[in-house]
Chain A
Amino acid sequence: MSEPLAISLFSGTDDRLGAAAVLVAGAAALGRPVHLFLQYWALDAFRADRIEADHGLAPEAGPEGANAVRRLRRTGGASWSETLRQAKDIGDVQIQACSLSMDLLGIGMSDLDPLVDDVEGVATFWSAAEHGQVLFI
């Protein structure tokens, strides 16, 4: 299964970033190329100075969900950034920052974690997505 997977990652909360990281890592382990396009609040979470910070959870988590997420991290669950790092190690995973979102946040490549490979526009994203599946998270 080598059909490429293109993901627009929009959400910036730890649970959604975590779910996205699991999907990316699984695809990489199966040999599928992955193209991850960081937009808006997802891009904000990849800032070098706050990638390890607490980015909160989606509203549906509630206090119970927050406890469950903390428990999972303590008992063998890696952080989303660590999962993505390992996915890049084992597979063909490109992480690209959306140029509009860079303008929106007023940041440059030097503000981003080294996990991010480069900046691109939407046409580049769709061009990479052309023959594969697309997810929006």
Chain B
Amino acid sequence: MTVETLRRVDARGLACPMPIIRTARAIAEMESGELLEVLATDPGSTKDFVAWSRTTGHELVEQTVEAGVHRFLLRRK
């Protein structure tokens, strides 16, 4: 599957709650169906993005971690 990421939030090095704040701000400026890639190093982000997705309804398409960097792929509802 080819996935074209339209926007990216680099929240590496930022403490909670900044990754989720930046994500909420970016999603608000996007169109329905568009994809957002978020990079974060905050250890709480693993559970936070699952919770945020569940509550807001924006889909968490993919979640990976590599060398301490969490990558989340989200689709605006």
Contact = CB atoms under 8 A, between A and B. Distances in A.
Interface of A: 1, 22, 25-26, 28-31, 72, 75-78, 83, 86-87, 89-91
* Consensus secondary structure, chain A interface: helix
A75 B15 contact: yes
Interface in B22-63: 23-25, 28, 51-52, 55-56
B17 A30 contact: no
Given A90-B24, A90-B28, A91-B24, A22 B17 contact: yes
Contacts of B17: 22, 25-26, 29, 83
B20 interface: yes
Given A25-B17, A30-B55, 14 more contacts: A25-B20, A28-B21, A28-B24, A30-B51, A30-B56, A31-B56, A75-B15, A76-B13, A76-B15, A76-B18, A78-B15, A78-B18, A86-B21, A90-B25
A90 B21 contact: yes
B16 interface: yes
